[in-house]
Structure 1
Amino acid sequence: MSAVKAAARPQEAGTAYEDDFYTWTQEQGARLRAGDFAGLDLENLAEEIETLGRTEFNSLVSAWRVILLHMLKWDHQPERRTRSWAISIRTHRNRAADVLKDNPGLKSRLTDSLVRAYRDARDEASGETGLPIRVFPTACPYTREEMLARPFPADPDDTTD
């Protein structure tokens, strides 16, 4: 039998999830579209769908973390303020807003996302500033409103923004 014929013939069991993730995803998608529900790898499909949700949550945490990191640095090292910190805050505010707009179900996890983000931002701020971690409050000192709306001039010498 030629390799072409063997490749053209559908596999009954399909590609194993562990052996070739990409091919597995393509086969599972094709089976869903064809209504071949009996041929679906339900356990791994369920895990992958849940992982997609966690990825969106982690995107929100990541955006909050960067905002908080630069806010902490802004407040604790005013002599080192840079335009890039202000721009980064703006950019990540937009990213967080986009994630929340695209995934309104994440609103129920805002508190959890902020707690996780601040924990990491605090550690990073200590590392990046060289200041002892005890300088940074253990609980987030900012309200969500401050994180989203507090002005940060792109030019640190410019107080209008």
Structure 2
Amino acid sequence: MTTRYDSDFYGWTQEQADLLRSGRLAELDTKNLLAEIESMGTSAENELESRLEVLFIPLLKWQFQAERQGRSWRLTIEEQRRKIERRLKKSPSLKHNLPEIIEDAYGDAVISAERETNIKRTVFPSSCPWSFEQFMDPAFYPE
């Protein structure tokens, strides 16, 4: 069965929604529909990883460049905590993947922190030094 998936994605989405609403399940483009559903889950996970990375960068800078602590870093930390909290509220099953997501995000954050601070990455802890509860605590700022 040929569909508009490759030639008119928006039209394809509307067509699939209409088929679902009308109960015409046999006419659905299940192969592409499944791929899109899986992609949506991957997007949510990628967003969480990105938010964690953006949180870890100023936390690392806060700890390793204490003399430069400022309002901008504090506000970035606060903003990302709120956004991470909302993402996990909308997709609580992402919590099952948190250890791996945190590890990946932290590794990327260390590279960014090295670039932004000129502190060699070997100075930073090799794995995330804070627990999820700790870095999500609104009162937590590393010493």
After TM superposition, the runs of 4+ consecutive aligned structure 1 residues lying more than 3 A away are none
Work out whether 1:81 is the aligned partner of 2:35.
no
Q: Which moved more, 1:109-118 or 1:15-24?
A: 15-24
| Aligned counterpart, 1:109 | 97
Output the aligned Cα RMSD. Answer: 1.6
| Aligned counterpart, 2:106 | 118
Maintained 8 Å contact 1:126/1:132: yes
Question: Using the alignment, how far apart are the partners of 1:80 and 1:152 within structure 2?
Answer: 17
| Aligned counterpart, 2:51 | 63
The amino acid of 1:56's aligned partner reads: A
CA offset digits 1:5-49 (Å, max 9, x no partner): xxxxxxxx6742111211111111111111111211101100100
TM superposition shift of 1:126 = 0.6
Maintained 8 Å contact 1:100/1:106: yes
Instruction: State how 1:1-161 maps to structure 2 within 5 Å.
Output: 15-149=3-137, 151=139
Question: Using the alignment, how far apart are the partners of 1:20 and 1:101 within structure 2?
Answer: 33
User: What's the secondary structure of 2:125's corresponding residue?
Assistant: coil
Identity value in percent: 40
Maintained 8 Å contact 1:15/1:23: no
Maintained 8 Å contact 1:122/1:136: yes
Question: Using the alignment, how far apart are the partners of 1:152 and 1:66 within structure 2?
Answer: 16
Question: Using the alignment, how far apart are the partners of 1:147 and 1:27 within structure 2?
Answer: 44
Question: Using the alignment, how far apart are the partners of 2:138 and 2:124 within structure 1?
Answer: 19
TM-score for both structures, normalised by structure 2:
0.91
Question: Using the alignment, how far apart are the partners of 1:15 and 1:108 within structure 2?
Answer: 35
Aligned length: 141
TM superposition shift of 1:89 = 0.7
User: What's the secondary structure of 1:28's corresponding residue?
Assistant: helix
| Aligned counterpart, 1:5 | none
Structure 2 unaligned blocks of 5 or more? none
Maintained 8 Å contact 1:72/1:125: yes
